[in-house]
Structure 1
Amino acid sequence: MPVIAVLALDGVPGHQLTAPGICFGTAARCHPQVDYEVRYCAAPGFRGTGGAAPFGLDTPWGPEGLAELGACDTVLVPGHDGYLDEPPCGVAEALRAAAARGCRIGSVGTGTFTLAASGLLDGRRASTGRRHAAELAARHPRVEVDPQGAVVEADPFYSAAGVLGGLDLCLRLITLDHGVPVAVETERQVFLELHGPAGPPGGGAVTGPAGTDGADGPDRVTARRVPGTPGPAGSGLGPTLRWMEAHLDRPLTLDDIARHAGLTVRGLTRRFRAETGLPPLQYLLRARIQRAQRLLERGDEPVARIAARTGLGTPANLRHHFQRYTGSSPSVYRTAFRSVVATLTWSQEGAAGGVGPDAPGERVPHRP
C-alpha cells in the first residue's frame, strides 16, 4: 500500500493538513485497486495548526519517521508559520533522505520555502502562493519560480499554491497514479463531501481525518476498496492520454486517437478498457467534464466559452453532460464551489494582521 507522509510544521493551515487525508482516503474508498495510507509526521516545535480555530495533532511520527518509513512513496510539505526561518532541526535532512530513497515530494503554498531550503529544488521549477512568489525567487535564486501558483511538476518534486492548492496537488498525484477517471470521480466526491454531508459510497471505510472510526488513531488514514468501478490506468497509453488532454478543444474521433496510439480502433478500445476501465470516447468525455470543472472553479468565463474550450461545443451540450456526471448545472457548481473556497479560506478577522500564511488571493485562474 503506498504511504503518503504529511510533514506537519507549526502553524500549518488546518485545511492543508487534512486535505491529503480527504483526497487519498476518498480515492481509496471509491475505487478498486486504489490503496493509500496517510501518515502525519510532526516536526520539532509543532504545537498546533494556525488560523482562527487551531487544533493539535497527536502522532507517533516525528521527522525522523520519514527516514524510517521504508514504504513511504510520497512526502507532502504543507504551508506553515515561520516559513522564512531555517527549517526545524532535522527537517531538511529528512527531506533529502526521502528524495535519495526515490520518494515523490510535494509542497503546498509556503511549504515550498521549506522544500527549497533543503536544496532539492535548485535548478527546478516550483510554485508557491502568488503573493509569496517574489520572496521565494529572491531567497532561492536557483529555483525557477512559477508566478501563477498553478501545480508545477518537476519530477519527482511537485508544488502548488495555497488555500485549495493542496487539493489540486493531491488530485494531480492521484491522476498520475491511477488515471483521469479515478481523479475525476475523487474530485467530485470530495467536492460533495465538503459542500454537504455524505456517507461513504459503496460500503467503503476510512479511518483518521478523512472520516473516522478511530481504529488507527487520528494520525493514520487507511481505506478499504470496493468492487465494481474502473481500475488504475497503466503506462502504455500515457502519451496518448496526455495528447488527448492537450487537445480537448478539438473534435477528436476514434480514428484520430487510434492513429496517435498506433493502434487499430478495435485494439485501441481493448487497450483503453484494460488500462482505464472506459472506452476511448467515454474517457474523452470525462476528461472534458473535468476540464469544465476546473474552468468553472478558477475563472469567470461564460458557459459558452467553456463549452468551446472543452470541446463540448454548445452550452446546451455542456449542461447536459455536466449534469449527468456531477449532478449539478455549471452555474450551480461554480457558485457552490466558491462557497467552499470562502469557507476554507483564511478570513480577514481570523488571521493575524488580516492574512494567514496562505491568504485569500492565492487561488488564481488555472489555464490548462
Structure 2
Amino acid sequence: MPTVALAITDGMLHFELSLAVEVFGADLTHIVDPWYHFSLCGPDAVRVDRFTLEPDHGLDHLARADTVIVPGWADTDQDPPAELVDAVRAAHDAGARVASLCTGAFVLAAAGLLDGRRATTHWAHTRELARRHPEVTVDPDVLYVDNGRVLTSAGKAAAMDLCLHLVRLDHGSSIANKIARRLVVPPHRDGGQAQFIATPVPEPGNHPLADLFPWVLGRLGEPLTVEDLARQARMSSRHLGRHFRQVTGTTPLQWLHTQRIRHAQELLETTDDTVDTIATATGMGTATTLRRHFARTVGVAPDTYRRTFRSRPRPGPGA
C-alpha cells in the first residue's frame, strides 16, 4: 500500500492542506483497493488558521513515506521552520517523492530540493521565490512542474491538479478520472497549462507612464508600435523601455502583448463574439494569429478557454 504523509506545522494554508486530505486521506477503497495509507506528520498540536490539528506522527516520520506533501506556507516573508525543512530534506534523501502545493515551494527551496530545477508556485509569489532562491528556475506560467521525485504546483485549484496528477502516476488515468468526478473537478489539466493570470496594469501612481496605460488600453485594437507609445508618452523609445522595466518589469511590446491576450480572455469569458471578431478587437488581426499567440501564452486554445471559464451558457437569439 503506497504511503502519503502530509507535513504540517503552524502557519500552513488550510485550503491546500484540505485538498491533500480530501484526495489522499479519504477512504476511497470502493474505487481502488488498496488506496493510500495517509498520515499527518507534525510537531505536537498544529494551529492552521482557526483550527487545531493533532498529528499522527512527528516530522521524523516523513522519511518513512513514499510521498510527502508540503501544503502552502502562509508567511512567505519568513523562513519556514528549520525542523520542517530538515525533515523534508531527510525524507527526500530517504527516497521519498516530495510535492509542494502553492507556497509550499518555499519549504522545498529552503531544503535545497529545487536547486538547479524548474519549479513554480502561486503567481503572486513567483518573483519572491526567484529572488530568495536564484538557483531555482521559477516558471510563473504553469500549473505544476514534475521533476520526477520533486514536484511543485501553483496555487489553489492548481494544487488539486497536482494531487490528481500524483494519483494518475500511481493508479492510472481511469482511477484519477473517477476521483475527479467524485470531487466534481476537471479530470485532467496538463501541468504546462498557464495559470490564467495575466500581467496586471500597474496601479495609478506618480510615475511617467501613469497616463500612457489607460491610453493604450483604450486602443488595443489598433496596430500600435513602440514608437507610437513613446510618442504618446513624449519620450524616446529608449527611455520608454527603461521606464517600462521599472514600472512593469517587462518590455513595452511584451506588456502590450499581455494586455491583448488578457483582453481576449475577458471577451471569451463575457461575450459570444467569434474568434475573428476578438482577434480584430485585440489587435491580433486574424483568428489564426490570435489562436497561435493565445495558445503559446495561455497554454490552451481560445475555444477551450471559453468552455472552461464561461460561468454558464449564454442564451441564443430569440431565447
* Structure 1 segment 157-236 matched on structure 2, within 5 A: 157-191=150-184
Structure 1 contact 26–190 (Cα < 8 Å) conserved: no
Structure 1 residues 29 and 87, CA, compared in 2 at 3 Å: closer, same or farther? same
> What is the aligned partner in structure 2 of residue 156 from structure 1?
149
Q: Give the structure with higher Rg (CA).
A: 2
Equivalent in 63, 67, 73 of residue 74 of structure 1: 67
In structure 1, distance between residues paired with 2:123 and 2:27: 29
- Listed as ranges, the matches of 1:291-302 within 5 Å are none
2:4–2:37: 8 Å Cα contact kept in structure 1? yes
Query: In the alignment, what sits opposite 1:144?
Result: 137
Q: Which residue of structure 1 aligns with residue 32 of structure 2?
A: 32
Residue 24 of structure 1: how far off its partner (Å):
2.5
Shift of 1:175: 0.8
CA displacement at 1:29 relative to structure 2: 3.7
Corresponding residue of 2:260: none
Q: 1:126·1:158 contact (CA, 8 Å) conserved in 2?
A: yes
SS at match of 1:148: coil
Shift of residue 163, structure 1, vs aligned partner: 1.6
Conserved in 2, the CA contact under 8 Å of 1:130 and 1:149?
no
Q: Which secondary structure state, in structure 1, belongs to the residue aligned with residue 62 of structure 2?
A: helix
Q: Does 1:109 align with 2:102?
A: yes
Residues 1:111 and 1:43: Cα distance change in structure 2 (over 3 Å)? farther
Farther-moved stretch of structure 1 (18-27 vs 94-103)? 18-27
- The residue aligned with 2:54 is 58
TM score, norm. by length of structure 2: 0.58
Equivalenced residue count is 211
- The offset of 1:32, in angstroms, is 2.7
Say if 2:74 is the partner of 1:84.
no
Could you say if the C-alpha distance between residues 293 and 90 of structure 1 is closer, same or farther in structure 2, counting changes exceeding 3 Å? closer
Secondary structure of the residue that 1:64 maps to in structure 2? helix
* Unmatched segments (≥5 aa) in structure 2: 197-264, 276-290, 296-302, 313-319
The reply on whether 1:99 has 2:95 as its aligned counterpart is no
Letter in 2 for 1:137: A
The 3 A distance-change label for structure 1 pair 291 and 153 is closer
Q: Quick one: higher RCO (CA 8 Å, sep 6+), 1 or 2?
A: 1
Deviations 1:187-237 (A, max 9, x none): 111127xxxxxxxxxxxxxxxxxxxxxxxxxxxxxxxxxxxxxxxxxxxxx
Match in the other structure for 2:21: 21
Q: Is 1:124–2:117 an aligned residue pair?
A: yes
Q: Which residue of 2 aligns with 1:9?
A: 9
Q: State the 1:291 CA deviation.
A: 5.5
Cα separation, 2, equivalents of 1:334 and 1:2? 38
Secondary structure of 2:28's counterpart equals helix
Per-residue deviation, 1:26: 5.5
CA contact (8 A) 2:46 2:54 kept: no
Q: 2:311 aligns with which of 326, 335, 346?
A: 335
**8 Å contact kept, 1:27–1:186:** no
Name the CA shift for 1:26/1:42 in 2 (closer, same or farther; >3 Å): closer
The 1:81/1:31 distance shift into structure 2, 3 A limit, reads same
Shift of residue 293, structure 1, vs aligned partner: 11
Partner residue in 2 for 1:42: 42
Give the Cα–Cα distance (whole angstroms) in 2 for the partners of residues 134 and 23 of structure 1.
29
Post-superposition offset of 1:159? 0.6
CA separation of 1:191 and 1:25: change in aligned 2, threshold 3 A? farther
Q: Which moved more, 1:80-89 or 1:93-102?
A: 80-89
Question: Does the residue aligned with 2:100 lie in a helix, a strand or coil?
Answer: strand
Other-structure match for 2:231: none
Structure 1 pair 38–334 and aligned structure 2 pair: CA distance change class (3 A): farther
Paired residue for 1:230? none
- Give the Cα–Cα distance (whole angstroms) in 2 for the partners of residues 64 and 143 of structure 1: 26
What is the Cα deviation at residue 61 of structure 1?
A: 1.6
Q: 1:26 to 1:180 in 2, by over 3 A?
A: farther
Q: Tell me the SS of whatever aligns to 1:84.
A: coil
- Could you say if the C-alpha distance between residues 146 and 55 of structure 1 is closer, same or farther in structure 2, counting changes exceeding 3 Å? same
- Give the whole-Å Cα distance in 1 for the aligned partners of 2:189 and 2:61: 40
Structural mapping, 1:257-336, within 5 Å: 290=187, 335=311
Q: Provide the identity percentage.
A: 34
One-letter amino acid matched to 1:85: Q
- CA displacement, residues 28-82 of structure 1 (integer Å, 9 cap, x when unaligned): 34423441022111247x64113xxx21101232212223x3xx11001111233
